[in-house]
Structure 1
Amino acid sequence: MNEHTTDVPPVEVHCHGFGDVDFSDFRKVDLARLDDWCASEAVQALPTMYLRRDKLSEFEEFVRRYDAMRKDGLLPHIPGIALEGPLLASHGGTPAQTVWAPTRGEWSRLAALGELGLKYTVMSPDAFRQGSTLHDAPEAREAGFDWILPELLAHGVRPALGHFTRQDPRAGAELAAEMVEIAWQSEFGGSGARVVTDHLFNDMPLTIRHAFRSTAARRERDRVIASYDLPGWSLDALDTIVGPVPATIMREAARGRVAACINFDGEHVDLAIATRAVQLMGIPHSMMMTDRCDSARLGGQDLHRTEDNGLWYQNAGIVAAGSQPLARQMANALGQGLTEPEVRMLAGGTAHRAFGLTTTAPQLVPAGRR
């Protein structure tokens, strides 16, 4: 552990909506109200948004407004914002209209927002390959990652690896490793980690069952988890244990070249698997993410729940978001035997280092943990 373990507020790294506000609806996001909400929960937040191509100008205006308020000291609990997409090889629970391949000009416009507070954008290493929803997009080959990543990183915008296809896991892993290498060879206009991730194990090819979301699945859970021999997992054997994509991400995180996000709600990923993963990657290289949405509306799509869990689903039955706040996830991690300093690192310390956040409210602790 290091100085980032303590005395920094927890950070909701990847969240989609607090209260009745869908962050992706830029017209309705009251930033002052959002900051007050974060203060009431004693967290900082990086609101994560979906972006339609025809809303790019509107998003730029929103980010400029955010930057002006931030500079005026009005948003101490919102140290940055983030995008999920648009360059995604697989939709997952993402609205289809928010998945698109930007042109060079559009990438430059997105990159410029790094100067105003855009911290990362989720993108798929295999977005340009066969099997990707964007493979045949007219703009897909206008710019490759050898141009896109340096353009983003020069302004401090990090790529967040995620939304892989399942067609060729080995190729996806190799492309992820190539992206990390490009990032580390590029000039960086920010500080902290140059590469982060969407949530580990979700929306990527796996060789294990990573979650047990139904009543029937939970009846098999203990037997399946025991068969995985989690204590016996090692970084060098992960390709055959979990699959080459998560294995590559975990090894790059263990090397300190990636800050990896993982969900501790017990529904996106089984808690025992999540715990073993952060132990292997190293707690200082791992971040909790909630993927949280509080209402049944996200990115313009209606959501619903089932009786089996607290996740939000879109109409096609695909998981779209979680619902548990950070304080609940911290309690879940403590219940897995992680120590208080480790949990504080997962919930805040790593994020502060990875995103170069300023500590504006060091006295904050999550609600219910004072």
Structure 2
Amino acid sequence: MDRMTLPMLYHVHGVGPFDFSSMTPGDLDGIDAIARERGVTLVPTIFLRPEYLDTLAAVCQHWQERREAGELAHIAGFGVEGPLLGVSGGVPPAGCWMPDAKTWGRIAALGDLGLGYLVIAPDALALDEEIESGFCFGDLVDLLQQHGVRLAFGHFRHDDPERSAAMTQALIDYVAPAGGDRYRLVTDHLYNDMPRTFVHAWRTPEARKDRPAQLAAVLDRPWRPDTLAEILGPVPATIIQAALDDRLTPMLNFDGNHVDLEICRATVAYLGAERIIGITDHIEVLDMAGEQLHAAQNGLLLRGDNIVAAGSTGFEAQIANMRGLGLSDAEIDQLVRLNPQRAIAPAVSKASS
């Protein structure tokens, strides 16, 4: 079957017995076989720890060689989450660190070997702020783009939403100064791990008692460019407006636990399925990046401190949720095939566009 006709798991941390944050070159055949059996392509997403970089480089090199030989057709590339992330959210602690310029050069060069996107906190540093002497955040952004690595915004700070929104807008303006290429930038999971002014998920029976009133506060007011910041918060409003302007494409999880499905419905209605990538963000083992996870009753996988690290709801269940929202087959195809395929092709730098 032509892999271009298959849906894509664009942001996924593991399938079968494999934790992608610990995979080796020898694991690629097994991962490809699982994807082929399930009728999908996938983008293994790695929480990058310092000690794993050499292995990741070997994985990408091996993948590139095998792809040139016409093999591993169901692995479309790779995504890396971190290392420049905010400390909030379910990032394994070892996955938050600050590489030096030389190490960033090694990471960026993986774009030539299949690294399609890198999740980065857009509010961690200003563009002119130095990572080390003579190498600022803007230089890093340029370097990543030169190697075709797409930025994915995620894991924001929570202490100053207005500041975070302004820094996010500045980075959007720098990378995608005009609309017309909505796949130049993406986000990690929309609404998760970012400051919000609303409740986006009700994960316990106690919390769900408040769901009707809290959900009404989000859905009963019309979503418009001039109301989004008040309804959702400045960070999600900035992202959604940029998506409307065709300057980025956000990812959205439809498992019903990361984000309530009614909020997913409203988001698709406002943006259109053509502007969203549906993701699973799941793993099928209770280990990720060297950290043991445990399952909550709702299916979310938690770290030892009970912070959500990933989901366990796979592709078929999420498709069922999309259909339950009344999305058409064409809309679902946009969410899980067309948009992810377009957003894994090497990013075009603003200098060459």
Work out whether 1:232 is the aligned partner of 2:229: no
Work out whether 1:155 is the aligned partner of 2:133: no
SS in 2 for 1:252: helix
Q: Could you tell me how far 1:51 is from its partner in structure 2? A: 1.3
What are the equivalent positions in structure 2 for 1:357-368 lying under 5 Å apart? none
Work out whether 1:316 is the aligned partner of 2:316: no
Number of matched residues?
339
Identity of aligned residues (%): 37
Q: Give ranges in structure 2 of 5+ residues lacking alignment.
A: 347-353
d(CA) in 2 for partners of 1:257, 1:278: 17
Change over 3 Å in CA distance of 1:140–1:341 after alignment to 2:
farther
Q: Which has the higher contact order (CA 8 A, sep 6+)?
A: 1
SS in 2 for 1:74: coil
Q: Which residue of 1 aligns with 2:19?
A: 22
Q: Which residue of 2 aligns with 1:348?
A: 337
With normalisation by structure 2, the TM-score equals 0.91
Q: Contact conserved, 2:218 with 2:232, CA < 8 A, in 1? A: no
Q: Contact conserved, 1:164 with 1:204, CA < 8 A, in 2? A: yes
**Which of residues 159, 175, 183 is equivalent to 2:175?**
183
**Which of residues 90, 102, 105 is equivalent to 1:108?**
105
> What is the letter of the counterpart of residue 147 of structure 2?
H
Which digits, 9 at most, give the CA deviation of each residue in 1:339-364, with x for residues without a partner? 1111111111111122238xxxxxxx
Q: Which residue of 1 aligns with 2:323?
A: 334
Which digits, 9 at most, give the CA deviation of each residue in 1:59-90, with x for residues without a partner? 21111011111211111111110100000022
Change over 3 Å in CA distance of 1:218–1:205 after alignment to 2:
same
d(CA) in 2 for partners of 1:142, 1:91: 29
SS in 1 for 2:250: strand
What are the equivalent positions in structure 2 for 1:1-370 lying under 5 Å apart? 8-27=5-24, 30-128=27-125, 139=131, 143-184=135-176, 193-230=183-220, 232-307=222-297, 309-356=298-345
d(CA) in 2 for partners of 1:78, 1:27: 14
> What is the letter of the counterpart of residue 325 of structure 2?
Q
SS in 2 for 1:107: helix
d(CA) in 2 for partners of 1:11, 1:142: 39
Change over 3 Å in CA distance of 1:192–1:254 after alignment to 2:
closer
d(CA) in 2 for partners of 1:298, 1:74: 27
> What is the letter of the counterpart of residue 146 of structure 1?
G
With normalisation by structure 1, the TM-score equals 0.87
d(CA) in 2 for partners of 1:169, 1:8: 40
> What is the letter of the counterpart of residue 143 of structure 2?
E
d(CA) in 2 for partners of 1:21, 1:28: 12
Q: Contact conserved, 2:22 with 2:52, CA < 8 A, in 1? A: no
d(CA) in 2 for partners of 1:139, 1:53: 17
> What is the letter of the counterpart of residue 257 of structure 1?
R
d(CA) in 2 for partners of 1:253, 1:299: 31
d(CA) in 2 for partners of 1:321, 1:293: 7
d(CA) in 1 for partners of 2:242, 2:26: 35
Which digits, 9 at most, give the CA deviation of each residue in 1:152-187, with x for residues without a partner? 01111011000001111011111111111221269x
Q: Could you tell me how far 1:29 is from its partner in structure 2? A: 5.8
Q: Contact conserved, 2:88 with 2:156, CA < 8 A, in 1? A: no
SS in 1 for 2:176: helix
Q: Give ranges in structure 1 of 5+ residues lacking alignment.
A: 1-6, 130-134, 358-370
> What is the letter of the counterpart of residue 161 of structure 1?
F
Which digits, 9 at most, give the CA deviation of each residue in 1:283-341, with x for residues without a partner? 1110011111101111100000122x000000001000001112211110111122111
Q: Could you tell me how far 1:142 is from its partner in structure 2? A: 6.1
SS in 1 for 2:198: coil
Of 148-157 and 231-240, more deviation after overlay is shown by: 231-240
> What is the letter of the counterpart of residue 349 of structure 1?
L
d(CA) in 2 for partners of 1:296, 1:140: 37
Which digits, 9 at most, give the CA deviation of each residue in 1:238-258, with x for residues without a partner? 100000001101111111110
Q: Contact conserved, 1:212 with 1:270, CA < 8 A, in 2? A: yes
